[in-house]
Amino acid sequence: METLDGLGYITAGFSFLVLGMVVFLHAWYAFMTKLSSGVMAASLTLLHDLLMVLIMLELFRTVLNFLKTNILTPEPFLHICIIASTRRILTTGAEAGHGEPLTAELFHQYLLDMGVNVLVIVALVVAVFLVRKGPPSEKCETCPTVP
């Protein structure tokens, strides 16, 4: 069972890596095809997709680190959440800047969304600081071993 568990982590990690490479290639292809319609829109799309690639690579690295050490640390997940919140801010900003005209209600919703995401990022950065400042994690004695 432990071998199957390890194989599950290996295939999931490998899938994150392959999917990250596919999204990376597609992001550049989409950038090149959208470039003629406008540099700003194409650049925002590329940035959005590249941040998704970073999330996938961070997940790959987390799985790889778990397979090496058999320790699951919270810091990579905090990084993923910071990247995801930054991605949301950029997406919302792009929609507001290049989408339909903003009504007062949409603008209020936009500001609320931005404010919440900024607060989430600040809280996550504080959490990263606290995790790094805390005592080093020790190997889990009750965790199953992965070959």
Q: What is the pLDDT of residues 62-98, one digit of tens each?
A: 888 888 888 888 888 898 999 889 888 887 777 777 6
Task: List, as one string, the DSSP characters of 38-61.
Answer: -HHHHHHHHHHHHHHHHHHHHHHH
Distance CA(8)–CA(14), nearest Å, equals: 10
Q: Give the separation between CA 10 and CA 103, rounded to whole angstroms.
A: 49
Residues 6+ apart with CB under 8 A from 98: 40, 41, 44
pLDDT exceeding 90 applies to what percent of the chain? 31
- In degrees, rounded to 5, the angle at the alpha carbon of residue 36 between the alpha carbons of residues 103 and 43 is 60
Q: What are phi and psi of 43, to 5 degrees?
A: -65, -40
| pLDDT of amino acid 143 | 47
Across the chain, mean pLDDT equals: 84
